[in-house]
Amino acid sequence: MKVVLFFILLIVCAGVAKGETIITVELLKNGDAVWTMEKRLPLTGQAEIEDWEAFINRGHDEKQYRGDIAEFKGRIAWFINSAKNTSNRSMEAEKFNISYGTARTLDGAFSIIRYGFEWKNFSRIESSNILIGDAFSEGMMLSSDNVLIIKIPEGYEVRSASPDFNKRDGDILVWDGRTFRSFNSGEPALILSPAGKGSVTWSIIIAVMFVLGSGASVVVWRRRRSISGDKNDSPLAADSRVAREDIWGEEMTEQYLIKCGGQAYQSDIVTESGLSKSKISSVLSNMKKEGRIIKIKKGKENIIRLIK
């Protein structure tokens, strides 16, 4: 019993210098997440290895196991309730479990205790995008021996991450406690989108639109020339071109605001889009009239916020 309670304390508080705690959050496409907290401690000597494995082989004492699970649920309930209050979304935790194991390396062996549960409605789903962050109402704290791993769903791409992760291995994103000791409120934050959606850079978007727009203009001009021999654009054609530019500008602006979490400075939109200040100003005025955005004055700057 003392052994179990001792490891419970380690896994939840994650405060032992010589050990290592790996926190894994596997994101599911429906917004749920499977959490696993794994504590590893070195076993020094064959006697400790044998004692630990004898403890595992004895199996669960049912009464003690229920007590450990109940204590674990109580600790997690506080985090879930805090996240519910700040995100204004329904959440709950279920499928609690505890398991034990041994890891052997060339340098020795480690005892392992894993705590797991499923966090329902952990992520926010918007227009097929998965948004992570509002559940971390108070941010996160990592010690130097902690590692945070977030596994993103297959077929999704990272559009933004705050703070940026240390490394990536396929669908695995890693934040190392030796670098990240404290996260701000709402962090770590991620915006994920299905592969091929919303992941094209602004420069590529602008280039493609420019080519398509230029190609369309050439075709129209050639057809017009072949019919009438007139080499000058008509006022109607000019109005059509301006209308197309406005539509492109609105689409690019909306995608950029989504990428930035719903709001951004107007000057940043100008910089990222590559369009002129006057063009972006016209685009934003149209979007405001349509009720798609609001403008918030902050000093000499305008903050543009997307209306959901």
Residue 3 pLDDT greater than 80, yes or no = no
**Bigger pLDDT: 214 vs 45:** 45
pTM of the model: 0.58
Roughly what angle, to the nearest 10 degrees, separates helices 235-259 and 202-228? 170
Average pLDDT, the chain: 77
Say if residue 132 is in the same domain as residue 235: no
Tally of domains within the chain: 2
Given 141, 168, 194, which residue is the final one in a domain?
Answer: 194
Distance CA 212, CA 39 (A): 55
Distance CA 147, CA 172 (A): 12
Say if residue 109 is in the same domain as residue 227: no
Phi and psi of 250, rounded to 5°? -65, -40
Classify residue 199 by burial, with Cβ atoms within 10 Å: 0-12, 13-18, 19+. Answer: middle
In this prediction, residue 72 carries a pLDDT of 87
Task: Give residue-wise pLDDT tens across range 238-285.
Answer: 454 555 566 777 878 888 888 787 888 898 888 877 778 888 888 899
Instruction: Report, in angstroms and rounded to the nearest whole number, the Rg of the chain calculated over CA atoms.
Output: 27
Owning domain of residue 229: 202-306
Owner of token pair 């003690």: 64
Given 173, 194, 215, which residue is the final one in a domain?
Answer: 194
Task: Give residue-wise pLDDT tens across range 47-84.
Answer: 888 888 888 888 777 888 888 888 888 888 888 888 88
**Cis, bond preceding 163 (omega within 30 deg of 0):** yes
161 bridge partner residues: 190
DSSP letter string over 176-205?
ETTT-SBPPTT-SEEEEEETTSS-S-HHHH
